[in-house]
Structure 1
């Protein structure tokens, strides 16, 4: 059977936590999709059941242990139909790993840049210090230089549970 994968969550460069939630529509050989999370140095794997005769909605998650050894903020989530063919079709989604960006990561809130804002000023308002690195890292999909932001730009401000 030809696999059909329509992954709706996460989207490329979403900011994710230690539990990565996935959702979409899929059909796969024997109804099984494998799930892998990797950044080139370490990998975690799981699987989920989906449709085998036609597209079926699915939800799944994979937990990344707090003791993970990821070296990078950017991870690759791979969903693949490899139950009948190790080289079966797959979807690879790059995501940003919040726990590597901010200790105690618990989610994020949106912030719209105002005229005169700098990342250091935004960090001072949000965290009480001028360390803008978590904000910059959480927005690497839209920022290439921490000194270049513009009014109206929507940034993700990582928050922690601590």
Structure 2
């Protein structure tokens, strides 16, 4: 094991700051992070363990409020910079869904277990008061909803919530 991201998990719905945690090691106890969507990115570094070869836990709150992301999906990366040639090594990449791009004032989500008769427009009417906002739910669940006309009883959908 070289580096590992334990938080967030793959396709988690995250807000700002993005809490990045796991285990790692890096040259002179330094690891780097990058959060981006291909249009903009936030980068930085942090200390982990006692030095090269020693693993330690890390937790970093990455402030992405000023990033101009254009996509709901972001890539979170942790990596070491090689002392030999400056290349990025031991790169760990994790896709996440950025809630503030989906729901204004985003601060979390509810879970809704789909039952027979549920529709996305009906869920949007229940949770947002407006059936046309069903796209919030679709965008927050890209791994579960491939066709907005088809949701299945038993699915647990994330319903993004936020301040108005």
TM range (shorter): over 0.9
**Runs of 4 or more above 4 Å deviation:** none
Runs (5+) with no aligned partner, structure 1: none
> Which of 17, 22, 35 is matched with 1:19 structurally?
17
Q: Which residue of structure 1 lines up, in the alignment, with residue 57 of structure 2?
A: 57
Q: Which residue of structure 2 lines up, in the alignment, with residue 78 of structure 1?
A: 77
Q: Distance in 2 between matches of 1:68 and 1:33?
A: 21
Runs (5+) with no aligned partner, structure 2: none
Q: Which residue of structure 1 lines up, in the alignment, with residue 148 of structure 2?
A: 146
Q: Distance in 2 between matches of 1:96 and 1:112?
A: 20
Report the Cα offset of residue 128 of structure 1: 0.5
**Is contact 1:75–1:95 with CA below 8 Å preserved after alignment?**
yes
Q: Distance in 2 between matches of 1:87 and 1:113?
A: 43
Q: Distance in 1 between matches of 2:71 and 2:38?
A: 9
Q: Structure 2 matches for 1:36-51, cutoff 5 A?
A: 36-51=34-49
Q: Distance in 2 between matches of 1:158 and 1:80?
A: 30
> CA RMSD of the aligned region, Å?
1.3
Q: Encode CA deviations 1:29-65: one digit per residue, 9 max, x unaligned.
A: 1111111111111111111211124221111121012
**SS at 2:44's partner residue?**
strand
**SS at 2:20's partner residue?**
strand
